[in-house]
Amino acid sequence: MSIKKTFSMVSTLPPITGISPYTVNLLSALDKLTTGEIFAFRKIYPEFLYPGELYDLTMKIPEWKNIEHCSVIDWYDPLSWVKPVRLMNSPLLHLQWWSPPTGPIYYFMMKIARNRKKKIILTVHNILPHESNIFFKLLWDRILKLADGYIVHASVNKEELINLYPFTEDKPVWVIPHGVKKMKKISSHKARNILKIPEDKIVFLFFGTIREYKGLDILLRAFADVKGKAFLVIAGKPWVDFSPYNRIIEEKNLSGSVKLDLRLIPEEDVKYFFSAADAVVLPYRYFSSQSGVGSYALGFSVPIIVSNREGLKDFAYEEAVFEGDEKSLSLLLKRFIEDNNFRKSLLKDAEMKREKFSYNEAAVKTLDVYNEIIKT
């Protein structure tokens, strides 16, 4: 990494899961605009801290023309934490910040970068961690203070950031939506045959890691009211005990109307689930940013039904937002099944948002941020 670059990024890359797809897609778009480098994690967590699958060997790093990459950071080796700052060949360090266990690594890295007069940008994917405690909140505070500016994914995130951490109001905060990558569908017929699910019913999809805040129980109870007319696919690795959800499935007699695929879905298989789905449901109890699952859905032009949580709503048609309770979700599912014009409106909106939130747009705005912060 010898030629001077516009930016140096710290994040994850394949085969590590989590935000690697976001990182790869953003870098692929930036590769068309400028030069850069990324220093990625080689080992990001001790495995006991991460209940999901840490690696997906079907994910690959693209061949970039203007972006160089190397995986050098190990959670257990403080000497490796220094490497990105020691090796970086740009005036700007851009860190993708989303996970509490990486906090000590980021704090150490950012302190050294400040001592070396580097500009620091944080993309704050979660204003607070999904499962929080006092230690993580204090750590968030320390890390945020070391940055020169922040990127968030929605206007509400900017408001939350300033309200929770008033000192951030004195620094620039840019709103750049989570990007959407255009994905190629296969036929619904083929996808449903592969997944062994009905071809003659509306299919709803719940996709991604299963955690308490994502509201799968709300969806199961709401879906019970329409089970004769629709089918539900639940695909993702549980991070919690799944037995409470199994009890709902048994109590509501849903077993014949629900397919469970409780594993990390390999990148190469994602297309089958989104090609088979008529709509993706995000019944989250709390969530204020934009969803990676929502980005996948729009990438495949699949309509999204969401709870009225700020940030999530940006990806959905206005009339496809429910209040967050099972009754209002049940009514919305029923309308989606019965009203063909409503389904067409949601599909048209998904296709429009796929263009609006493209990674190319995100990359242009990110490069503007780089140029602005470097000049200050």
Tokens of 202: 């509306």
CA atoms of 104 and 44, how far apart (whole Å) = 12
Domains along the chain? 7-179+358-375 (3.40.50.2000), 188-356 (3.40.50.2000)
Q: Rounded mean pLDDT of 74-100?
A: 95
CA atoms of 332 and 189, how far apart (whole Å) = 25
Q: Rounded mean pLDDT of 259-268?
A: 94
Please tell me whether the overall predicted TM-score, pTM, comes out greater than 0.75 for this model: yes
Helix ranges (DSSP H) in the chain: 20-30, 78-87, 103-115, 134-145, 155-164, 188-195, 216-223, 243-251, 270-276, 292-299, 326-338, 340-356, 359-375
Indicate whether 141 pLDDT > 60. yes
pLDDT tens-digit series, residues 308-347: 986 778 888 899 999 989 999 999 999 999 999 999 999 9
CA atoms of 236 and 228, how far apart (whole Å) = 24
Tokens of 150: 């922040």
Looking at every residue in the chain, the average pLDDT score rounds to 92
Indicate whether 2 pLDDT > 90. no
DSSP bridge partners of 336: none
Indicate whether 130 pLDDT > 60. no
